[in-house]
Amino acid sequence: MSLVNPEKEIQPFVVNLTGINSKMLKNAPKFYEVAKRIVEITEDCILVAHNASFDYRILKEEFKRLGFPYKRKTLCTVELSKQLIPNQESYSLGKLTRALGIPVSERHRANGDAAATVKLFKMLLHKDLDKYIIKDSVKTEQRSRISANHKEIIEQLPTETGVYYIHDKDGNIVYIGKSKNIKKRITQHFTDTNSKSKKIQLQVAAVTYEKTGSELVALLKESEEIKIHRPLHNRALKRNSFTHGLYTYLDNNGYINLQVSQLRKYEKPITTFTNRQSGIAFLNNILEKHELCGKFVGLSKGHTSCFHFDLKQCNGACLGLEPPEEYNPRANIVIERNRYENKDMVIVDRGRQVDERSVILIQNGTFVGLGFFDLNHQINNPEILQSLITPMQNNRDTQHIIQSYMRRNYKRLKIIHF
């Protein structure tokens, strides 16, 4: 990055705005000295800028003076912000980034403004559930640039967690997937010999992706966007990809009982499982961890003591040796930890970079959406939190995804209750 000598005096208001004066530009290169490098680094690229028409017009004018017809496709983050983040008080870079909790250093200097615009653009890509930006970009690429060489596509992919989109030559999304290692998963698509993979291999013209850092974010985005785009090679997500649920009832002696059974039509489960085996594994885990009774979680049958009492892993609730007043609080911990009905909370997980975290918003037991925030910003500000969040659909699939992920990663996740 370099300052450029405009070969004329800097106007006072520009000095006050940027802190750049004529003395600082005395030894800076002139535009013609950096023009070749600008052409090289922007070749086959889309220029992204806040108020892109202004920056692009200046570049074209400078190249015109050199007799060079400079043409590039542009994307304006002002226009995209108005479309994807409506009802903001101002769309100036400073006020918009402040409202969205995006840190800005060296305001009105190229380095600081560019870094802030990059973070804003990442947020806009995240909020663009219709994938207008990506699909339009792929579609308008010169056909000579769209490589049919699978190896070349793979080389450009990250080995990180995220959602990937396989496009045909017209930019249409033909497959959506998620992976903890995008490059590895796409390599499998390009080398597998099953029917679906062979069809994808014939159609693929480009692969785009969105890093999520968090596997939970990737799972939720994959579920949502398959429903939105209905890609040709995605099997429709089964609405009931989970078959069993955890239910509770109070028995005649006042003990809380937990039970895994098939989903009941008119009764809401505490949490859900993909199959019965997954539910039984969960029961065995909580039985040991919370010192629960095998009989009261449905793992022991009969009218005498449970099997786990004989192993000295049960405190004798099944024989009435431990009263409900002592037993039930431990069962309630399991219930409260695994349901989010009527809860207002935020689930904080890994972000896309070291200094970033992802956030999943639950309001009144309903999944509202997700987003990302920098570690140096507090997310307990409701206005900033709402701006960060990309609204998403709440349904049984999202409930199952969130609850299942929380069960598996409870110790690592940070959960903030409001």
At 146, the amino acid letter reads I
Residue 13 has pLDDT above 90, yes or no: no
- The b/e string for 166-197 (b: 16+ C-beta within 10 A; e otherwise) is bbbeebbbbbbbbbeebbebbbebbeeeeeeb
d(CA 110, CA 75): 17
Structure tokens at 117: 């615009």
> Which pLDDT value is given to residue 402?
93
Min mean pLDDT across 83-87, 198-202, 234-238, 271-275 is at 234-238
Per residue in 214-262, pLDDT (tens digit) is 999 999 999 999 998 989 898 644 444 788 999 999 999 999 999 999 9
Closest CA to 121 of 140, 137, 143: 137
Taking residues 268-285, what's their average pLDDT? 91
Taking residues 45-67, what's their average pLDDT? 87
Min mean pLDDT across 110-114, 122-126, 342-346, 353-357 is at 110-114
Cβ(372)–Cβ(358) under 8 Å?
Answer: yes
Q: Sort 230 into a burial class: Cβ within 10 Å, 0-12 / 13-18 / 19+.
A: exposed
d(CA 374, CA 351): 9
**Confidence band for 301, pLDDT divided at 50, 70 and 90:** confident
Q: Sort 220 into a burial class: Cβ within 10 Å, 0-12 / 13-18 / 19+.
A: buried
Beta strands in 201-355 (DSSP E): 206-211, 244-250, 256-262, 272-273, 345-350
Q: Which residue in this structure is represented by tokens 């190896």? A: 151
Taking residues 364-375, what's their average pLDDT? 89
Q: What is the pTM of this model?
A: 0.70
At 2, the amino acid letter reads S
Residue 144 has pLDDT above 50, yes or no: no
* Per-range mean pLDDT, top range of 161-165, 201-205, 387-391, 399-403: 161-165
**Residue scoring higher pLDDT (138 or 290):** 290
Per residue in 75-94, pLDDT (tens digit) is 888 888 888 888 888 888 88
d(CA 164, CA 176): 6
Cα distance from N-terminal residue to C-terminal residue, the chain: 44
Residue 166 has pLDDT above 80, yes or no: yes
Average pLDDT of the chain?
A: 86
Alpha carbon distances (Å) from 322 to 76, 121, 297, 329: 67, 59, 16, 12
**Residue scoring higher pLDDT (16 or 287):** 287
Q: How far is CA 272 from the centre of its chain?
A: 22
> Which pLDDT value is given to residue 219?
96
**Confidence band for 111, pLDDT divided at 50, 70 and 90:** confident
Share of the chain above pLDDT 90, in %: 35
> Which pLDDT value is given to residue 57?
87
Residue 108 has pLDDT above 60, yes or no: no
d(CA 371, CA 177): 19
* Per-range mean pLDDT, top range of 25-29, 116-120, 185-189: 185-189
- The b/e string for 317-352 (b: 16+ C-beta within 10 A; e otherwise) is bbeeebebeebbebbeebeebbbbeeeeebbbbbbb
Closest CA to 258 of 340, 362, 364, 337: 337
d(CA 107, CA 91): 15
Residue 142 has pLDDT above 50, yes or no: no
> Which pLDDT value is given to residue 325?
96
